Amino acid sequence: MILVHHLRVGRSVFTVWLLEELGLDYELKLYDRLDTGRAPPSLKDAHPLGKSPVIEIDIAGERLTLAESGAIASVLVEHFDPAHVFAPPRSDEAAFAKWTNWLHYPEGSGVLPLIFKLLTSRAGEPVNPIVDAFTQGELDLHLGYLNDILSAQNYVCGDIFQAPDVGVTFLAQMAMGLELLADYPGIASYLQKNMSRPAFSRAVEKTGG
Ligand SMILES: N[C@@H](CCC(=O)N[C@@H](CS)C(=O)NCC(=O)O)C(=O)O
């Protein structure tokens, strides 16, 4: 049985969402944030970094602990999506390469400017001209990039919802929470469409967000 260590409220709801899309059975262990917003120390019992998501999963007879959202998604579809609903087959080499690129985008490049924005906006006043200019420039770049793509097609890999959309929806939700989507209607409508999927609602309901 897959065990998910889920920190409320946070990005591991997106891992739970993928489990729901795949129709898998899993157990949840829930953690609440401290008043500081950080994870409780007990999450370090699951993984030394003490962050979420963390999943424990049996692969080839070994119990593994995985703690990177993109890698978790990759392992889940590799083992539990034989019909290739959420990923193209590896034999479709070009589609698989494009899919892999998108699977790594959220944690590889996409989240950084949003984290900077989250932290600098918490400060409540300009932080540092270099940091502020970097943050704004990167937000313009990434949100503009995503908006162009999502205005031209329904999902990041084309017209079918696939596993990379889970991570990109995480970025879109974070951008919405930071009130950054007014000028990006393509991202905003993509977010609404994905959040209305029944599997997303089940994930939110089961985890508490
Ligand atoms: N690279 C990890 C990032 C994990 C991460 O930063 N998780 C956040 C959840 S929003 C966390 O646990 N933060 C709590 C803390 O750092 O105290 C991934 O791919 O998911």
- First-to-last alpha carbon distance for the chain, in angstroms, is 22
Lowest model confidence (mean pLDDT) among 87-91, 117-121, 150-154 = 117-121
pLDDT number for residue 123: 76
Ligand 1 — pocket residues by CB below 6 A?
7, 10-11, 38-39, 51-53, 68-69, 107
User: Could you give the CA distance from residue 37 to residue 35 in angstroms, rounded to a whole number?
Assistant: 5
Tell me: the pLDDT tens digits for 64-79?
999 999 999 999 999 9
Ligand 1 centroid distance, CA of 1 (Å): 23
Q: What's the pTM value of the predicted model, to 2 decimals?
A: 0.96
Same domain, 141 and 80: no
Top mutation candidate among 51, 166, 168, 178 for ligand 1, by most atoms within 8 Å of CB: 51
Ligand 1 centroid distance, CA of 51 (Å): 5
Pair 4, 16: CB distance under 8 Å: yes
Same domain, 193 and 105: yes
Tell me: the pLDDT tens digits for 5-20?
999 999 999 999 999 9
pLDDT number for residue 122: 84
Ligand 1 centroid distance, CA of 41 (Å): 13
Domain count, the chain: 2
Task: Determine whether 198 is exposed, middle or buried from the number of CB atoms within 10 Å of its CB (0-12, 13-18, 19+).
Answer: exposed
Same domain, 97 and 194: yes
Ligand 1 centroid distance, CA of 39 (Å): 9
More confident residue, 57 or 209: 57
pLDDT at 114 over 80: yes
User: Which range of residues forms the domain containing residue 179?
Assistant: 93-198
Verify cis geometry, omega within 30 degrees of 0, for the bond prior to 85. Answer: no
At position 64, the amino acid (one-letter code) is L
pLDDT number for residue 49: 98
CATH code of the domain in which 184 resides: 1.20.1050.10
**Position in ligand 1 atom list of the atom nearest CA 38:** 17
